[in-house]
Amino acid sequence: MNLPNSLTILRIFFVPLLVAALVQEDVGFRLGGLWVTNEWLALAIFLTAAGTDLLDGYLARRWKQVTTIGTLLDPIADKLLISAALISLVQVRVLPGWMAILIIGREFAVSGLRSIAAAEGYIIKASDLGKTKMFSQVVAISCMLLSVRHLSLRTPGMVLMWGVVFFALLSAMSYFGKFWHKIDERVKKRRRHDLLALERKRQRTERRHRGKEDLDAATVWKPPEVN
């Protein structure tokens, strides 16, 4: 396994650490002369995990180690990280539940599109809108993480989250508009090919059956006797 793929898998392992750090309200420790509370710890874990997203893509392109498994795992790791952060923010009553459901539902929809596309031979790479959406999510979630204790950041954080919703829906429409028609046409062509193959098979079976019946009839038939 190459380093970019290892970083992608490492990002997945950061997910339970992020949830544990955020939902435990009284967690804290001293680091040098600073007292680090749970929201700062959660922010550090989240930004470190988000940093691996930038690093693994850069290294994969720089070292020419782009692989199919990396292309498929990278968006999954991103979705797990963002979903865990959003659900945790709902748990600590900082983020409205409907907003988290809308953003996570978009992620599942795009993941479903990627799966269907992969089954049809297409690999959907992240678009510019998708990258903008990911950047806006990182900034907005970071602000919301700090707003757990610093209430003055709650309003800016919600404004940023509305931006996340906008870019999430816009990028989803872009993905579906760009690829769904291609996938739908390919699925229809494959189904027509399968139906034609079944019809040809049925016709061959009927011809063999009729040929066998004609052969049996010729074997049984006898010419009439002449008196």
CB 22 within 8 A of CB 88: yes
CA nearest 9: which of 60, 71, 61, 77? 77
24-25-29-32 Cα dihedral, nearest 10 degrees: 120
Tens of pLDDT, residues 200-209: 888 888 777 7
Considering the domain boundaries, does residue 227 fall inside one? Answer: no
Average pLDDT over residues 59-80: 80
Name the 3-class secondary structure at 29: strand
Domain count, the chain: 1
Q: What span, in angstroms and rounded, lies between the C-alpha atoms of 40 and 75?
A: 25
Strand partners of residue 133? none
In a domain, 198, yes or no: no
Residue 120 lies in a domain: yes
Is 185 within a domain?
Answer: no
Residue 44 resides in a domain: yes
Task: Examine the pLDDT at 10 and tell me if it is beyond 60.
Answer: yes
Cβ atoms of 161 and 101 closer than 8 Å: no
Is residue 167 assigned to a domain? yes
Tell me, yes or no, whether 169 lies in a domain: yes
CATH number at residue 158: 1.20.120.1760
SS3 label, residue 150: coil
pLDDT, tens digit (0-9, with 9 covering 90-100), for 86-143:
999 999 889 999 999 999 998 888 878 777 777 767 666 666 666 777 888 999 999 9
Q: For position 85, what pLDDT does the model report?
A: 92
> In this structure, what are the phi and psi dihedrals at residue 36, rounded to the nearest 5 degrees?
-95, 115
Is residue 84 in some structural domain?
A: yes
Q: The tokens of 197 are what?
A: 């193959």
C-alpha–C-alpha distance, residues 108 and 76, integer Å: 10
Residue 28 has pLDDT above 90, yes or no: no
Q: How many CA atoms lie within 13 A of 89 on its CB side?
A: 31
Percent of the chain with pLDDT over 70: 78
Q: Does residue 171 have a pLDDT over 60?
A: yes
Token pair, residue 150, equals 């610093």
Mean pLDDT (the chain) is 80
- Find the radius of gyration of the CA atoms of the chain: 29
Q: How confident is the model at residue 170 (pLDDT cuts 50, 70, 90)?
A: confident
Close Cβ partners of 145 (under 8 Å, ≥ 6 residues apart)? 22, 39, 42, 43, 46, 85, 89
Q: What is the mean pLDDT of residues 70-92?
A: 87
Measured distance CA(3)–CA(31) in Å, rounded: 30
d(CA 85, CA 97): 12
C-beta separation of 92 from 141 below 8 A: no
103 vs 114: CA distance, rounded Å: 17
Task: State which residues form the domain around 164.
Answer: 3-179
